[in-house]
Chains A and B, each alone.
Chain A
Amino acid sequence: MATTDADASTDVDEAEPRDERREHLLSEFQRELGNAVVDSHIRAGSTLWIRVTRDAWKDAAIAAKEQLGFRFFDFLSAIDWLPSPFGRDMDSQEDVIASALENGDAGHGPDPEESASMTTGYAGGDTRFQLLARVYDTRNAQGVLFKADLPDDDLRAESWSSVYHGADWHERETWEMFGIVFENRSSLDHIYLPTLFEGHPLRKDFPLLARRVKPWPGIVDVEPMPGTDDEGDGEGEGDAE
């Protein structure tokens, strides 16, 4: 019933426990939304992911609330699937040590091969930005996670705020953090950041300046630091593209 690209084969092999309740729920969503359901994933006994097309983003919310009784709005956000263009030195310094220990070399700096490929998570995805939202049915104690791909050159989606009140603030947050524009709602104002703030901090290509200008203090404890000789100002070098 649920066809997940990567997991379909492994499901059979490992004979994972089936979750009939969530499979039933998925079939109900497929009935309501038809072809708009692109992909799905079920973790037995825990979570159901449904990826819908961008055009059906609002329809999914309406179907969930009006038809299937998901009246509780949980959260709305997004995921930026771009691998960090700043490579490993944006991560914790411990990361460098660990990979060095494993590979037997100083595995610091961005790995071109790794940063070139962009992988997406459950229920798949083809684009860099993916919307993520969860609604809940308090009567039957089950939730559903929605995802929707957004094309890179057109980061727009229909607003949920006329369906779920609570989506208003979450959309403002998603807009300022990822630069995703929601349409047919009241104006998108900053919610956390100052009005004149430039950039979208939760995008992967937005540098975390505190970490750029000062190395992680944790490295003081570690004596032989592999790769301290090149503190790497030229961060753009091994990037994708």
Chain B
Amino acid sequence: MTVVTDRDKLAYIAAQAADARVNVELESDGMTLNLGPQHPATHGTLRIVARLDGEQIISAEPICGYMHRGYEKLSEVRTYPQVTTLINRIDWLGSFANEVPFILAAEQLMEVEAPPRAQWIRTILFEMSRIANITLFLGDLGIQLGGLTAGFYAFRDREFVLNQIEAATGGRFHPNFDRIGGLKDDLPKGWIDETHRAMDRIRAFCDEIETLLITNEIYEARTRGIGVIPAEIAQSYGLSGANLRASGVDWDLRRDDCAPGLVYDQVDWKVWTHTDGDAFARSWVRMQETREATKIVDQLLDTIPSGPVMAKVPRIIKVPEGEAYVATENPLGEMGYYVVSKGDLVPFRVKIRSASFNNISVVPWVVRGVYVPDLITILASLYFILGDIDR
């Protein structure tokens, strides 16, 4: 009846056969390799238990929860403005992007719309979070594969973006800047020119990474054909963001299903896809995405309208009864909040749909039969943030 069952059946038979082979030939149960909870390749506390047959992985199971903070429960005892402080800590490399879908969901329920200037600045900061996040991904990828230089370059150039985010919001990592109905504050003086310069730096960084890493022969040898995820499987697991686009699915929430309150329809940009679905494709798509993000920021900076940054909302925010699901295309993929309100100051239920949770659930499928070093490549290329898995 379904595609999935056959694939699972075959995989099960293969695993059984591998088990039998190991047991007969070596008279052993194979070896269990435990990666983490503390391991450089997991940048966080993700533990992976892999069963090996020689150097090959028979099965691997990610074990998460070492950093589970229960944000869904905690959100039920905090007022709407207080919740943004929590959800900032989900994907901590692109914090501002976490706030936006929640605020948009609340705005949808309250039928409030942010003024145009606030929508513009929101989109700019959203894309800058993406740049700050993916810059580090590109560097981190180098580190995982033994090319430390890329990592240093990434940390150096990310600083230009973080400085701008800090100048505008006051927070390098946790801006907590988005409000229901607009933004906390307007942009500081001289920020626009300085941000243009930062975008130039990021474009230069992308070129640098391309020559240094992406087109590097060793890098290609390590990533081409590794961890191939077909489009069908990617969608069935709910992979989103660059991971999905690298598998050839041309879908981007910014372009296809943009939540009202972000102004991606005002700019000219391109969604990049790749047909290979391997580790290389994922990193390549992310690099292109960073370039597009700088373009979006540049265009928005030039067209930013004047006016207030905050709509008229009551001081004490009570959200009318209702339910809303709003998702945006975050640096890691689709992030959405299902907010149930009972007309109180606190949400009745908040379901957080984070990208990494789905993205990493594909690991048991994709690592069957690969070699141990490739496991690291695959994990790095899938790109997850622990806070985004464990919430």
Contact = CB atoms under 8 A, between A and B. Distances in A.
Among A98, A134, A138, which residue has the most Cβ atoms of chain B within 10 A?
A138
A166 B236 contact: yes
Contact of A47 (B8, B251, B324, B351): B324
B334 A165 contact: no
B361 A66 contact: no
A201 B249 CA distance: 36
B355 to A, nearest CB: 11
A121 B336 contact: no
B119 to A, nearest CB: 17
Contacts of B64: 191-192
Nearest to A75: B353
Contact of B358 (A138, A166, A194): A166
Contact of A122 (B74, B77, B322, B349): B322
B329 to A, nearest CB: 12
Interface string A174-200: 000100000000000011111000000
A62 B1 contact: yes
Interface stretch (A22-30, A88-96, A148-156, A232-240): A88-96
A132 B256 contact: no
Q: Which of B325, B336, B346 has the most CB of A within 10 A?
A: B325
Interface SS of chain B: mixed
B113 to A, nearest CB: 14
Interface residues of B, number: 55
B190 interface: no
A94 B81 CA distance: 11
B351 A91 contact: no
B390 A75 contact: no
Given A77-B351, A92-B78, A163-B2, A119 B316 contact: no
B156 interface: no
B257 A191 contact: no
A91 B341 CA distance: 13
Interface string B329-364: 000001010101010111001010100011001100
B65 A46 contact: no
Contacts of A73: 235-238, 358
Interface string A53-66: 00000000010011
B4 interface: yes
A74 interface: yes
Contacts, number: 139
Interface string B231-270: 0110111101000100001010000110000000000000
B188 interface: no
**Contact-size category for A:** 35 or more
B79 interface: yes
B328 to A, nearest CB: 13
B361 A166 contact: yes
Contacts of B73: 201-202, 206, 208
Nearest to B7: A165
A71 B357 CA distance: 18
B82 interface: yes
B153 interface: no
Contact of B361 (A71, A122, A168): A168
B72 interface: yes
A169 B349 contact: no
- Give me the 5 closest cross-chain CB pairs, A-B, nearest first: A192-B65, A166-B238, A141-B256, A138-B251, A192-B68
Interface of B: 1-2, 4-5, 8, 64-65, 68, 70, 72-74, 76-79, 82, 108, 232-233, 235-238, 240, 244, 249, 251, 256-257, 316, 318, 321-325, 327, 334, 336, 338, 340, 342, 344-346, 349, 351, 353, 357-358, 361-362, 365, 390
16 contacts: A47-B325, A62-B1, A74-B327, A75-B238, A75-B353, A92-B78, A94-B79, A98-B345, A122-B323, A143-B325, A164-B237, A166-B238, A177-B72, A192-B390, A193-B65, A208-B76
Given A95-B344, A134-B353, 11 more contacts: A47-B325, A71-B232, A75-B358, A79-B340, A90-B76, A121-B322, A141-B256, A162-B2, A165-B236, A191-B64, A208-B76
